[in-house]
Amino acid sequence: MNRRSLLLSLPAALGCAGLAAHAQAKLKIVASFSILADFVREVAGDAAEVTALVGPDQDAHSFEPAPSDARALSGADVVVLNGLGFEGWLDRLVRSSGFKGKRIVATDGVKTRRSAATGGGRGGGHNHSHGGTDPHVWQDPGRVLTMVRNIASGLAAADVGRASIYARNGDAYLARLAELDGWISGQIATVPAGRRKIITSHDAFGYFEDRYGVDFRAPRGVNMEAEPSAADLARLIREIRREKIKIVFMENISDPRMMEQLARESGAQMGGRLYSDALSRADGPAPTYLAMMRYNVARLRDAMIAE
């Protein structure tokens, strides 16, 4: 081929490549937060480009969307959200972005729990939260099965040509979730019943408590409402001492200072960081949901059996 014919054939070759790419274009999916994006990646595999609006180590409760988030949504085919009021900022963002794609609510049909009114432990007193539906469904792998089924059927409806891929990937992930559930039950079973008590920053672990029988208490409620009062903190400190709880945890999404104060004033130690509402970055200990749950449970078990 001489130089001239090479140049002439180039645009034609590029044109063909463009058409081929279009025929198998990846689905563009935006998930509201990092844990949900991980579920979506498991189900979609290589068939989609998945981005999360609220990234690793970020707090979805207090998230403030940026113009780049509206741009990500405007170009997306599908948006996947948790629902149950977790992403209070999302409806407005979807409207302002001009998003015209399909919407999947991952928690549709999940049996939810009401959160107790909170404000620093049990025993009455002033409450900051009036309770409400707890959005942290992902802390129970049993309920995550439903979330993953919703994602798989939603993607299949949005992208019929790849329905069998989503079904196959979804089933493989469901099996790994069932395996995780069995492993967690086995870990918790090694902790004497009277010691299954954990103190953490906010009420993110109610579904874990429901499934595995571990008692979680926190100074802040399910939606990270107002700061607890001094009286609320004092009550929690008395509980930690009375029940001989040795370790308190901070969370990756929240300021550790309140928990450090609780530890200092109750005589407990800091147990490190739990991943409550967000994954870690790729180089951290919880870059996927499965890794996050195993990491959290190992830390929780160590804390509960500590002498």
Interacting residue ranges for Zn ion, rule: CB under 5 A:
204, 277
> Nearest distance from residue 97's CB to Zn ion, in Å?
24
The residue among 43, 79, 85, 40 whose CA lies nearest residue 60 is: 85
Q: Of 79 and 204, which has the nearer Cβ to Zn ion? A: 204
Report d(CA 278, CA 107) in Å as an integer. Answer: 17
> Nearest distance from residue 162's CB to Zn ion, in Å?
33
Q: What is the full DSSP assignment across 184-204?
A: HHHHHHTS-GGG-EEE-SBS-
> Nearest distance from residue 89's CB to Zn ion, in Å?
14
Please, which residues bridge with residue 49 across strands?
A: 28
> Nearest distance from residue 133's CB to Zn ion, in Å?
12
Q: Of 204 and 293, which has the nearer Cβ to Zn ion? A: 204
Report d(CA 61, CA 180) in Å as an integer. Answer: 27
> Nearest distance from residue 278's CB to Zn ion, in Å?
9
Q: What is the DSSP letter of 82?
A: -
Q: Of 61 and 299, which has the nearer Cβ to Zn ion? A: 61
Q: Of 83 and 101, which has the nearer Cβ to Zn ion? A: 83
User: Which residues contact residue 158 at a Cβ distance below 8 angstroms, ignoring those fewer than 6 apart?
Assistant: 27, 77, 78, 101, 102, 104
> Which secondary-structure segment (H or E) carries 213?
none
